[in-house]
Structure 1
Amino acid sequence: MRRVLFILLLLFTLWRFTFILPALAAEVADGGKIFNAHCSSCHIGGGNILISQKTLTKEALSTYLNNYEQDGIQAIIYQVQNGKNAMPAFKNKLSSQEIIEVATYVFQQAENGW
């Protein structure tokens, strides 16, 4: 019985990663395009040309975004939607899906060290 449960769990895990990761990869790729079109003029390579310490590195995002440690992507989504200080709000410029995609891209790049 244990062997059957183990095999079922293994099959489920393989199935999950087989069908979810390509969708996530597409989301990140689209996020990269959105980032290049709307964000890279100020945040090229994850930096910040206006306020040098407020980069898109994991450390800076943890410091400057509320709740980044609890839910990084949601914290980035909030920032992109609402802006703050020199950063404009994008909620009227990008669709909800585009905001999710660019937030996922920024999160992944920050996790990987840009």
Structure 2
Amino acid sequence: HLHMMTRADAWMQWYEYNGYEFEPQLLAGPRYEVFTMLLAAVDAGLGMALVPAFIAREHIKSGRFVMPVPATLPVKQSYYFGYPDERNVSETLLLFERWLKASALNTLGLSLT
């Protein structure tokens, strides 16, 4: 098992959520700082990893990666995007906001319209 440094308990949560027995030795294994490093390690054949679906989607579509089991893990963390009132906001920031919303909805199979 490959691990994210910032999500040290992700594998334990995945096993428990999906009804599998978690064994402490599964906590062993390399730890990576960012998802791109984790994906590179998987690509190099160093092990398997838990990553958000949108990060691995293209790798799975291309056949480079597989999901050995269809089980997932809902996450409790959230991200927020905020900025000061609109009279001081640049058009570039508003375009970014629209892109971010569209991308998030697309991940869920939805659209802005």
Q: Normalising by the residue count of structure 2, what TM-score does the alignment of the two structures yield?
A: 0.25
Larger relative contact order, structure 1 or 2 (CA cutoff 8 Å, min sep 6): 1
More helix by proportion, 1 or 2? 1
Q: Normalising by the residue count of structure 1, what TM-score does the alignment of the two structures yield?
A: 0.25
